[in-house]
Structure 1
Amino acid sequence: MVPVPLRPPTWEQTRKIWVDQAVQERDLGALRKIGGLPGGFAGERKRVWPILLRVDSFVSERSNVEASDVNAKASTSTVPINSEGQTTSTKSAYDLAQGPGHALEGTSKGSPEVLTHKDEQQVKLDTDRSFVTYPTDISPETKKELQDDLENLIVGVLRKYPALSYFQGFHDILSVFYLNYFPPKPIPTGRERSMSRRLEREQARSRSRSQSQSRSQSQSSSMTDLPGLLTPAKTPPPLTMTPPENAIVDSDLRDRDTGEWRELRRCVEVLCLTRVRDAMGSGMEGMMGLLKLLQNLLSHADPSLYNLTSSISPSGSLPFFALSWVLTLFSHDVDDLETISRIFDWGLGRNPSWVVYLSAAVLLANKPQILVLISQLPQEYTDDPTLLHPLFSRLPPLYPDTPTSAPPTAQESEKEKLKKTLEWFHDPSLPSPYDPIPLSKVFELGDELMERLPWDGEAVRGKAVFGPGSVLVSYEEEQADGGRWSAEECLARIDVDVILPGALDPPEDEDEKPRRGRIVRQPGFREVLTRIQPSTLVAFGVLMLGVGIAVYGVKGEGRGWRGWWGLGRAVWEEYRY
């Protein structure tokens, strides 16, 4: 008998074997490598992401036990918010967590009043407009349930840790976690709906026959309870009504105290306290520090690209085109769930500075396309480099490549692409003019940059920017301590020595010292203003004001907001006549 040759395992099967072994051994190094490979973790994310975040190292100093066991019930659900987005409160979230049988929603044990967070109204506004790009093919009812769950998830962690501040874009990050834990069911096709209704009818007939037989037996037995007496049967309880197919079930009644929900909440807590804590303080200095690191990194990784990115901004300013990238971990700018999930596969197991290195890797990978488009643009764009800002702020399409997937092919001619680019300048909602770039290539570039130019090395000088209160520094301390950390330690670092004094100030000789690769001196800000047309200046002022509103919209009392307002007002006052 001729032996049948064995089929080689698929890449999915091979990847699962690797993941199983790394998970069993808690091998973070192996998981980091796997996360950057084509395909990522795919269906294994619920197992892997908690390990990358080191959720099992979360301890509470109050009771020296896992904080999730102590506080889990404090965030199982949220109190319904009234029409004004406000509720009253008398107890702290921690006190409620210690109390037996409490809940944040109305339950059979009562509805104790809960300490609300100051940002809950903004959370409600943002979650009500979430899940627009993805997932697709879901009903309006399902979308509303997703939004309610997302609001519940965000409010839960904010109430548990009221020292944290919400920032717009945080809901984009958590939506990625939520959808990987609870992927929605798509709208069924016509045939699937028909089969489902047929099955429901058959089940209804079966229940009806069983109930009829049960009532007959009950009536028969009730007539012979006592000899010689006719004892009427008790009235049976009403049958439970099954809601119609299109009924909307109150989302507050859905169970959010399952094992998956508890695991998701723990991941979110660790993410907030150890990865994005710098963005959840009272100001945005931490994000400015990340942009400073990006500026330093580009100056050494690719001086010509650094000079180009510097030319589109006022002298000495930071690369604000990447602000939403570093603030939301790319989740606001990526319009595909698998793509942003792959980015999290690569980034979650690394120092929080990974978002800076991924930003630089995207720019380096996209540099050839940027240069080609710039060379084909009309003269007005090269005369006024600030008009090139959209070319940098818009991500190229990043496609989640796998070992067996074929790369997307561009079908457009250079002329068509240029026409598309000019249209896109006037309408950013149009598709990107860039050709797709595989994620694995970007990850490879990011890893190479991390190894060659570490964030705390002499070139990038991260330790000259970030202080001991930053997540970049505390992450290294946690890893050196075996990953053990406590919520109290993290909360104590909020707004404390996140950025070192003077770290964000531009160099005093910025206007006089030529940058590497520059032919002419970078003009000062006022000099730039005198060269630009008034209409462009007004647009630039609106742009700067818009960035300020986007960043400081929820934190309007911070120093950063006043700075942004001052810049926009200066431009307006200088050229409004």
Structure 2
Amino acid sequence: MDASDEAALREKATNHNDGSVATDKMKDILEACRWRDLDALRVLAESPGGFLKDSIRQKAWPVLLGLPSAEDGNEPYTAQDDGSWKELPRHRDEDQVQLDVNRAFIYYPHHQNEAELEQQKAELSALIVEVLRRYPYLCYFQGYHDICQVLMLVLPTPLRAPAVARLSALRIRDFMLPSLAPAIAQLRLIPDILRAADPALWRHLSSTEPFFALSGTLTMYAHDITTLGEIARLFDVLLAREPVFSVYMFAAIVRGRRAELFDTPRDEPEMLHSILSKLPRPLDLDALIADTRALLDAYPPERLRGARGSPSSSSWRHTISPASVLKTARDPRACAAQSMDDGRAFFDRQVRELQWLERRDQAIALLRRYRRPAARTLGLAVLVAVLAIALRRSPPGGPTGPLGYLSTLLTRWFR
């Protein structure tokens, strides 16, 4: 889709308040689903109202997630809907799954009796456990049930598990690793975005760590938005856009609260964190989506600069792994074409990187024990031995490359 076609579709989709125009928009969405036109679906998802209603989402979300359909001549995932997963080995995190499921469905859906609520909890538990047993390398995280809850309530039963599986392995994989470090690395982009888009606000928040965004980004905002209509509408765009869009969205939320934040002294980081850790109410989703799109268009992650003022020092270059979903799914079309085997390969690479980083940190800790001049010779010999082992085991193309880490360590040694 070229720029003129996108502009025309965006203008058409934006003017949908009139009933006839809304009908035209629904036709456009279904036509885009038929042809698996992800560019058109992205534009339609970003326009006011998104995909408008759940019956349309049931067509659009599977396409965005890359699920095969009967129209493609492929066998849909219904072949797995046979209960065979129940015979698979128990996943290590199932006890935590049940604890979280017991707290699900607090805000929606409404008007359900106790029996209906228990049935929905049983279905949610089965959905999560099925995905974890079929893909046991994935690690459950608290808040995952919030995401699965949305997909369960919108999608028909045969599509739920395959949709959740592809979302898990290909779009939120960073959160399903053995460590939260990759999730924290995503948050480090927020100061870089603010530095580029709003230097005054960036300076004001310089003493506040971006952990305030963890709940929102980790759960695709499903933990913080309390109505099904709003979160389903937000999922329209989060599934249509690349995963980094979610990080930019929180940066846009921060910018939208700049007046309130400037009223709070910069030397009170706890108060600033408290303000930022809660989403503003009311939340104008359509305006937020438009602001996020503009922010990402103006300051794409590849052009962000870090604390030293250069792209090479940015969090995108320095802390985001090449195997992170932020990079492997940078193009939603490429992500939709990836397989579950691709997701497993990226997962394994990230695990190896995390293991290497752990060995690097151990080497740094060891180095600090030999900082006195009399011990430098021995310390340097130990460091070289440790690094030799680490480099042999390191994944190719780590966050900054093994030689970059070696250089950093030696610089610290001789400092």
Q: Is the pair's TM-score, using the shorter chain for normalization, greater than 0.5?
A: yes
User: Contact 2:322–2:328 at 8 Å: present in 1 too?
Assistant: yes
Structure 2 counterpart of 1:228: none
Q: Aligned match of 2:130 in 156, 164, 168?
A: 156
The one-character-per-residue Cα deviations of 1:185-235 (angstroms, maximum 9, x if unpaired) are: xxxxxxxxxxxxxxxxxxxxxxxxxxxxxxxxxxxxxxxxxxxxxxxxxxx
Distance verdict in 2 for CA 1:475–1:104, change over 3 Å: closer
Look up the equivalent residue of 1:337 and give its one-letter code: L
Residue 33 (1) aligns with residue 56 (2):
no
Q: 2 CA distance for matches of 1:340 and 1:47?
A: 17
Moved over 6 A (4+): 498-502
Cα deviation for residue 164 of structure 1 reads: 0.4
Structure 1 counterpart of 2:108: 134
Distance verdict in 2 for CA 1:474–1:384, change over 3 Å: closer
Q: Which has the higher helix share?
A: 2
User: Contact 2:124–2:148 at 8 Å: present in 1 too?
Assistant: yes
Residue 393 (1) aligns with residue 247 (2):
no
Q: 2 CA distance for matches of 1:382 and 1:266?
A: 46
Length, aligned pairs only = 326
Cα deviation for residue 39 of structure 1 reads: 1.3
Residue 365 (1) aligns with residue 374 (2):
no
Q: 2 CA distance for matches of 1:453 and 1:147?
A: 41
Q: Aligned match of 1:48 in 60, 66, 71?
A: 60
Q: 2 CA distance for matches of 1:267 and 1:157?
A: 10
Look up the equivalent residue of 2:77 and give its one-letter code: S
Cα deviation for residue 367 of structure 1 reads: 2.1
The one-character-per-residue Cα deviations of 1:223-258 (angstroms, maximum 9, x if unpaired) are: xxxxxxxxxxxxxxxxxxxxxxxxxxxxxxxxxxxx
In terms of Rg, which structure is larger? 1
Structure 2 counterpart of 1:68: 77
Distance verdict in 2 for CA 1:331–1:454, change over 3 Å: same
1:335 counterpart SS class: coil
Q: 2 CA distance for matches of 1:346 and 1:478?
A: 11
Cα deviation for residue 385 of structure 1 reads: 3.6
**What do you get for the CA RMSD once the two structures are aligned?**
2.7
Q: Aligned match of 1:440 in 286, 293, 298?
A: 286
Q: 2 CA distance for matches of 1:151 and 1:365?
A: 37
Look up the equivalent residue of 2:271 and give its one-letter code: L
When structure 1 is superposed on structure 2, of 492-501 and 262-271 the one drifting more is 492-501
Cα deviation for residue 53 of structure 1 reads: 1.4
Structure 2 counterpart of 1:116: 90
Structure 1 counterpart of 2:221: 330
User: Contact 2:65–2:167 at 8 Å: present in 1 too?
Assistant: yes
Q: 2 CA distance for matches of 1:478 and 1:25?
A: 16
Q: Aligned match of 1:320 in 211, 214, 218?
A: 211
The one-character-per-residue Cα deviations of 1:496-550 (angstroms, maximum 9, x if unpaired) are: 2477988xx9xxxxxxxxxxxxxxxxxxxxxxxxxxxxxxxxxxxxxxxxxxxxx
Structure 2 counterpart of 1:449: 295
Q: 1 CA distance for matches of 2:46 and 2:336?
A: 22
Distance verdict in 2 for CA 1:486–1:382, change over 3 Å: closer
Q: 2 CA distance for matches of 1:382 and 1:303?
A: 14
TM-score (norm 2): 0.72
2:103 counterpart SS class: coil
Structure 1 counterpart of 2:392: none
Q: 1 CA distance for matches of 2:238 and 2:230?
A: 13
Cα deviation for residue 35 of structure 1 reads: 1.0
Counterparts of 1:225-236 in structure 2, within 5 Å, are none
1:126 counterpart SS class: helix
Cα deviation for residue 442 of structure 1 reads: 0.7
When structure 1 is superposed on structure 2, of 363-372 and 262-271 the one drifting more is 363-372
Q: Aligned match of 1:354 in 227, 245, 250?
A: 245
Look up the equivalent residue of 1:155 and give its one-letter code: V
Q: 2 CA distance for matches of 1:384 and 1:367?
A: 15
Residue 295 (1) aligns with residue 191 (2):
yes
Question: Where do 5+ consecutive residues of structure 2 fail to align?
Answer: 1-17, 306-313, 361-415
Question: Where do 5+ consecutive residues of structure 1 fail to align?
Answer: 1-7, 58-64, 78-102, 106-112, 182-259, 375-380, 398-435, 506-577
User: Contact 1:469–1:495 at 8 Å: present in 2 too?
Assistant: no
2:186 counterpart SS class: helix
Structure 1 counterpart of 2:166: 270
User: Contact 2:38–2:333 at 8 Å: present in 1 too?
Assistant: no
User: Contact 1:133–1:335 at 8 Å: present in 2 too?
Assistant: yes
Q: 1 CA distance for matches of 2:289 and 2:203?
A: 24
Look up the equivalent residue of 2:40 and give its one-letter code: A
Counterparts of 1:161-560 in structure 2, within 5 Å, are 161-181=135-155, 260-311=156-207, 313=208, 318-372=209-263, 374=264, 384-397=268-281, 436-459=282-305, 462-476=316-330, 479-480=333-334, 483-497=336-350
Cα deviation for residue 382 of structure 1 reads: 6.7
Cα deviation for residue 33 of structure 1 reads: 1.4
1:368 counterpart SS class: helix
Cα deviation for residue 383 of structure 1 reads: 5.8
User: Contact 1:478–1:485 at 8 Å: present in 2 too?
Assistant: no
Distance verdict in 2 for CA 1:371–1:136, change over 3 Å: farther
